[in-house]
Structure 1
Amino acid sequence: MKALIVSFLLAFILLTGTAFTYLTWKEADKGFALVELFTSEGCSSCPPADALVAKISKETLNRPVYILSFHVDYWNRLGWKDVYSKAEFSARQKRYTDWMHLSGAYTPQIVVNGKTEMVGSNENALRRAVTAGLKNTSAAILTFKEASLSQQKLQLQYQVLNAADNYTLNIAFVQKQAQTQVKAGENAGKTLPHINIVRELKTIPLNGHQLGTAAITPPENFNLKDGQVISFIQNSSTGEIMTAKEVQLSAI
């Protein structure tokens, strides 16, 4: 009977491509997973990727899995201007093509912890990368000693242990959810839901310093109660993410 069960499981994996990697998410988390999705409302291949990260977000609620949706601007020329797109987000994706020696940028693309990339709709690859990130111990420790909001600016006093000269602190101001009725371009006539849309990204070179204060201005017409701050430490030489931390604005 045991051999029969094993044979059935192997056949199921071969037929479906499912390797049950999601089961490891029940284990104690040693690390984290920062999932960066590069997407666009003007890309017909992107909605499945947006749906996938929303699915993973629900599955990993209250786990150290941080999802950032960066809307790039280079597809705006196809007839629909993505209101969440920014040239700086396209430039960030370009940096990953350099760090990873890729032939070029594309959408949808997902990068996990700055070192593993995949097509944004590849669920099995994403699950494997997230599981690997959760198993690996973080190389740095990021804590916030104080977080306050004054004069429409979020002030964060941070401490970074094991900071290196080439590390940067990145602070993403994120809108938790939105939906857009697309009226032109490849997705014309569709209503597209989004989660964790990056609205502002501030990058601060640490230069080996462990203590500091950062200020970030929320985007105009942004509801602070519907937002969050996701911060992460990145190696500016390799692109690898060393650790990540979330600050709930509603708790400030």
Structure 2
Amino acid sequence: MKPIKIFTLAASFALSVMILTAFVNRKETSIAKKDVIKPDSKGFAVVELFTSEGCSSCPPADALVARIQKENKDKPVYILAFHVDYWNRLGWKDVFSSADYSKRQNEYAKWLNLQSVYTPQIVVNGQKEFVGSQEGTLRNAITAGLKTGTATTLTLSAQADHNNIRVKYMAADAGKNTSLLLALVQKGAQTSVKKGENSGRTLSHVQIVRSMQKLPLSSGGNASIALPTDFNAQNWEIIGFVQNNENGKILAAAKSGFNATINAHK
């Protein structure tokens, strides 16, 4: 009887091992399938930061978008820092500020039903706004944007000569009541602030919008942008996006350097 008992015990053990192995393999396969995220080339995130060198709450937001820019340099994440001008009256004039950027922020206040504007403020894809230093909210908004696409497409190419930047664009499926916005962006700069809330600090900035044009959208065309005196092809780029004029939603975005054409992401 002993050999029979030993054989029965061995068979039971072998069967248990087979069942356990099958369960583990099935579980691992299930986990692997769950963890695989198919890339969605249609997604994008346009991150607009409204900031000012005269605002003591803004440097953390500037630093945050700098990290995001570095981490997402190979992804369709388009960061634009708009320096508003309404802080200038408090003792320090932000050299990058413009009334046009304050006006744009007020447009978002109307589109998003806000009572007032503030800094630092971030708007993602023209639809979601929040305090610019909220890292978790920003990361979640970017992730959502990268997973959500539209049928609209946009491609850009830019070339600089002695006096102007010439931009060629192609757009499709943008729908009615939309515009093309073209931003000339300086990738990085530093400022030693002498007065105001940030007096004595050296502030670092990324993706500074130096000028922006709003054009009626057609299927394709050309635009001309005046060349700034401090222009450097390696430290500048063009970011364009298609925006709905009624609700502010951004439908497509693209960018171009000045040495090669970079295709759009839907």
TM-score by length of 2: 0.81
Instruction: Map residues 21-40 of structure 1 onto 2, 5 A cutoff.
Output: 27-40=39-52
What's the counterpart of residue 120 of structure 2?
Answer: 108
Q: Larger Rg: 1 or 2?
A: 2
Paired position in structure 2 for 1:118: 130
Amino acid across the alignment from 1:237: E
Q: Does 1:162 align with 2:173?
A: yes
Partner of 2:141: 129
Change (3 A) 1:90 1:24: farther
* SS of alignment partner, residue 154 of structure 1: strand
Alignment match, 1:149: 160
Distance 1:143 1:128 in 2: 26
Distance in 1 between residues matched to 2:37 and 2:46, nearest whole Å: 15
Deviation readout 1:66-119 (Å, 9 max, x if unpaired): 000000000001100000000000000000000001010000000000000010
2:255 maps to which residue?
246
Distance 1:24 1:96 in 2: 36
User: Which residue number corresponds to residue 4 of structure 1?
Assistant: none
Asked if residue 193 in structure 1 is aligned to residue 204 in structure 2, the reply is yes
**1:157 deviation in Å?**
2.1
AA aligned opposite 1:249 = F
Give the partner amino acid of 1:49: A
2:18 counterpart residue number? none
Q: What is the alpha-carbon distance in structure 1 between the residues aligned to residue 161 and residue 111 of structure 2?
A: 37
Structure 2 counterparts to residues 35-54 of structure 1, below 5 A: 35-54=47-66
Report Cα offsets for 1:185-218 as digits up to 9, x if no partner: 0000111000000001011011xx2121111112
Letter in 1 for 2:117: A
Q: Which amino acid aligns with 1:41?
A: E
Q: Does 1:233 align with 2:255?
A: no
Q: Within 2, Cα distance between the matches of 1:48 and 1:61? A: 20
CA shift at 1:30, angstroms? 3.0
Paired-residue identity, %: 53
SS at match of 1:138: coil
State the 1:27 CA deviation.
Answer: 4.5
CA 1:185–1:58 in structure 2 vs 1: closer, same or farther (change >3 Å)? same
> For residue 203 of structure 2, what is the amino acid of its counterpart?
L
- Alignment match, 1:99: 111
Tell me the alpha carbon deviations over residues 161-205 of structure 1, each in whole angstroms, 9 at most, x when there is no partner: 102231111110000000111010000011100000000101101
Structure 1 residue 224, shift from structure 2 partner: 2.7
Structure-1-length-normalised TM-score = 0.85
1:30-64 per-residue CA deviation (whole Å, 9 max, x = no partner) reads 31000000000000000000000001111111100
**Hey, what's the Cα distance between the residues in 2 that align with 1:128 and 1:115?**
13
Does structure 2 retain, via aligned residues, the 8 Å contact 1:24–1:131? Answer: no
Paired AA for residue 219 in structure 2:
Q
Count of paired positions: 227
Determine the structure 2 residue equivalent to 1:220: 229
In 2, distance between residues paired with 1:103 and 1:218?
Answer: 37
The alignment partner of 1:200 has SS state of strand
Which stretches in structure 2 are left out of the alignment for 5+ residues? 1-34, 262-266
In the alignment, is residue 177 of structure 1 matched against residue 188 of structure 2? yes
**Which ranges of structure 1 fall in alignment gaps of 5 or more residues?**
1-22
Distance 2:111 2:40 in 1: 31
